Amino acid sequence: MVVADRITAEARSTLNQAGWGWLDLRGHLRLTGPGLFIDSDVPVLVGPETDRQGIIGRVGIELAALLLLDPARRIGVRAAAAALSRAPSSISETFAALRGAGLVDEDNKPVLPALFWELAEHWKPVSRDVASVPAPDGGRENAALRLGMDDVESNVGWALTDTVAAAAYGAPVSIRADHPPDFYVPDQGTLRRSVQLLGTATTATMRAGRVRIAPVPLVCARRIDATEWSDEKWPLANPLFVALDLAQDPGRGAEILDGWTPETVGARVW
C-alpha cells in the first residue's frame, strides 16, 4: 500500500499493474484484494498548510493545454496570460504549482509525458448524445449551430475529436464507416442549441453522434483543416485534444496512444 501527498497518473498506472493499493491524499483511494475492489474519490487528506501543487482549477487545465500544444516552445508568464486571457498573477501561481509537482521544468517547459497524463485526469468534458448530426456543407441550421466551417484555422467552431478524428490522423484505430462522430462545441449555449435542433438520443441505438463542451477555449479556437491531406471534411481537434479523449479509456485508449505519433500536425506528448 502506497500513501503519498500526490501520486501521478503514471505512478498510479504502474501501481495498478503491480497489484498495489494506493492512497493519494489529494482525494483518491484504490484497494484491491480477494473479494475486494475499491477505486473511489475520498475526502481530501492533505492539510491546508501543504503547498498546492499540480494542475489546480480551470487555469491549471488551460495552462497545461497551452504548454502541451507546443512543448518545445519556452513561454513566459505574460505571454501565457495573454494567450489565455488570464491575469499574469494567476498564471505565475499556476506555473509555481506545476513546477512544484515536477510537471514543468525551470524554463516552464512541460515535463513529458507526465504533464499529459496529469491533464488527462482532469479532462472531463460535459457531453450529450444526439439523434442526428449536421452536414458540414449544410445551410441555415449550421449557422444556428455555430459550426464555423469558413476559415477553419482562424475561426471558432465545432471540432471533430475522439475515435473518428484519430482515424483521420492515421492513429491505429479500426472503425466502421458509420461510426458515430464526437464533436467539441465552444460553450454551453451551443450544446443546448445542438440538442434542441439535432434531438436527444435516449438509447445507444439512437445515438448518431455526441457533442461535448470544450474544457478549454483552445480546443475550438485552434482547429485543424484536414481537407488537403485527408477525406475528412470536418475540422479536426488538435491531436493533443484527440489524445486526451482517447486517454479516458484506460485499456483501448492507452494501446492506441502507444502506437500513435502524429505526422501531419501536432506533437507526441504522451
Boundaries of domain holding 137: 127-258
Q: 33 with 86, same domain?
A: no
Instruction: Answer with the one of 107, 122, 137 that is the final residue of a domain.
Output: 122
| CA dist., res. 240 & res. 80, Å (int) | 18
Q: 138 with 81, same domain?
A: no
Q: Tell the residue number behind the cell numbers 479500426, with chain if given.
A: 174
Q: 249 with 144, same domain?
A: yes
Q: 72 with 137, same domain?
A: no
Q: What pLDDT does residue 30 have?
A: 92
| CA Rg value for the chain | 20
Q: 236 with 191, same domain?
A: yes
Q: 142 with 240, same domain?
A: yes
Q: Omega before 113 cis (within 30°)? A: yes
pTM of the model: 0.83
Q: 232 with 167, same domain?
A: yes
Which among 97, 109, 39, 17 has a CA at the least distance from the CA of 67? 109
Q: 140 with 250, same domain?
A: yes
Q: 148 with 252, same domain?
A: yes
| CA dist., res. 211 & res. 195, Å (int) | 8
Report the chain (270 residues): mean pLDDT per 10 consecutive residues.
Answer: 82 85 86 86 64 89 98 96 97 96 96 97 96 85 88 95 97 93 97 95 93 98 96 96 94 92 95
* Residue 157, in any domain of the structure: yes
* Residue 266, in any domain of the structure: no
Q: 136 with 110, same domain?
A: no
